[in-house]
Amino acid sequence: MKNQKYKNILLVILMAIGFASCSGGSTDKNGQDKEKSGKDETKKEKTDGLELTVEQMQTVGIITGPIAQKNLDSVIKANGQLAVPPQNKADVSILSGGIINHINVIEGQQVKRGQLLATIKNQDLIKIQQDYLAAKNNFTYVDAEYNRQKQLQAAGAGTGKSFQSSEATFNAERSRLTAYESQLSQLGISPGSIAGGKIVSQFPVLSPIGGTVGQITANTGAFVQPGTSIMEVVDNSKIHCDLTVFEKDLMHVKVGQKVSFQLTNQENQIITGTINGIN
């Protein structure tokens, strides 16, 4: 009976050891399976990634660096139009009325300052030249008389009244002669050529600035009144763009900033510039 009891205890111990061995083997197997699965996932992750060597990065131009704080660019949209400063745009007007004898330029032609644009016939011009010649000849006599009275006054042989009279006449005739010369010069006529006996019946119209001839508003043979503009000349070398910016964007606009704009009549050509002023 006692031997039978020992046999039962030994059988229980052997069964417990067997179960423990099976459990341990299962645990080891599960651990190996998990480890193998983890290695497969790691290998899969490494397979899906992209690694570049230093030589490859230099070949394709990839540059790495530290993260830095920078302001992002913002775009402000605005509309406007091209314009030129007032000093670069001139209306060609005539000082004295007359008939247009000839127009020497066409629209779009490049001209220089002082270049002949047209000629105007004026019959009153002949009378101005005659009056100038008469005033010049009379001034010659008045000048001689003034110098004679001046010499007599210095020598104490003349009277003060005669000297004062000649002096007043001299100043008046000199002023009248200067006025005629100024009037002729404004019409583009040289007083020196008239003094030589060359009387002209027409005066030239000269370009006040250099640039491009704009719209011509008169024709040959037309009568134009004094002060009438017959054409315009524009110097496009100082052209600028006037842009209208909304008030909410005004604080983001500063002098010196770069601007890019497109011209609708130039196939949307992009032109860059710099902000010169803010009104």
CA 88-117-228 angle, to 5 degrees, is: 75
According to the model, what pLDDT value does residue 48 have?
58
- Range with the poorest average pLDDT among 39-53, 175-189, 222-236, 258-272: 39-53
Does residue 160 contact residue 150 with C-beta atoms inside 8 Å? no
Q: Which two tokens stand for residue 166?
A: 């000649």
Q: Which two tokens stand for residue 53?
A: 């060597």
What average pLDDT score do residues 74-78 get?
Answer: 81
What number of H helices and E strands is found in the chain?
5, 12
pLDDT band for position 240 (50/70/90)? confident
Q: Which residue has the higher pLDDT, 178 or 66?
A: 178
Q: Read off the pTM.
A: 0.57
Letter for the amino acid at 247? Answer: E
Q: φ, ψ for residue 278 (rounded to 5)?
A: -125, 125
Q: Which two tokens stand for residue 233?
A: 């000349």
- Distance CA(27)–CA(32), nearest Å, equals 9
User: Is residue 34 scored above 50 in pLDDT?
Assistant: no
- Distance CA(99)–CA(119), nearest Å, equals 9
User: Is residue 31 scored above 50 in pLDDT?
Assistant: no
- Distance CA(121)–CA(233), nearest Å, equals 22
Q: φ, ψ for residue 166 (rounded to 5)?
A: -65, -35
Q: Which two tokens stand for residue 176?
A: 């009248």
- Range with the poorest average pLDDT among 45-54, 79-88, 179-188, 264-273: 45-54
Q: What's the full length of the chain, in residues? A: 279
- Distance CA(217)–CA(109), nearest Å, equals 15
Beta strands in 54-128 (DSSP E): 79-83, 89-93, 98-103, 110-111, 116-121
Q: What does the DSSP 8-state code read for residue 251?
A: G
Torsion of CA 34, 36, 37, 38, to 10 degrees: 90
According to the model, what pLDDT value does residue 16 have?
54
Helices (H), 49-159: 54-60, 124-155
Residues 6+ apart with CB under 8 A from 189: 125, 129, 200, 203
Q: Under DSSP, is residue 11 helix (H, G, I), strand (E, B) or coil?
A: helix
Q: Give 77-96 pLDDT, tens digit per residue.
A: 888 888 888 889 999 998 88
User: Is residue 6 scored above 60 in pLDDT?
Assistant: no
- Distance CA(140)–CA(233), nearest Å, equals 42
Q: What share of the chain is helix, strand, coil (3-state, %, to 5)?
A: 50, 20, 30
- How many C-beta neighbours within 10 Å does residue 142 have? 20
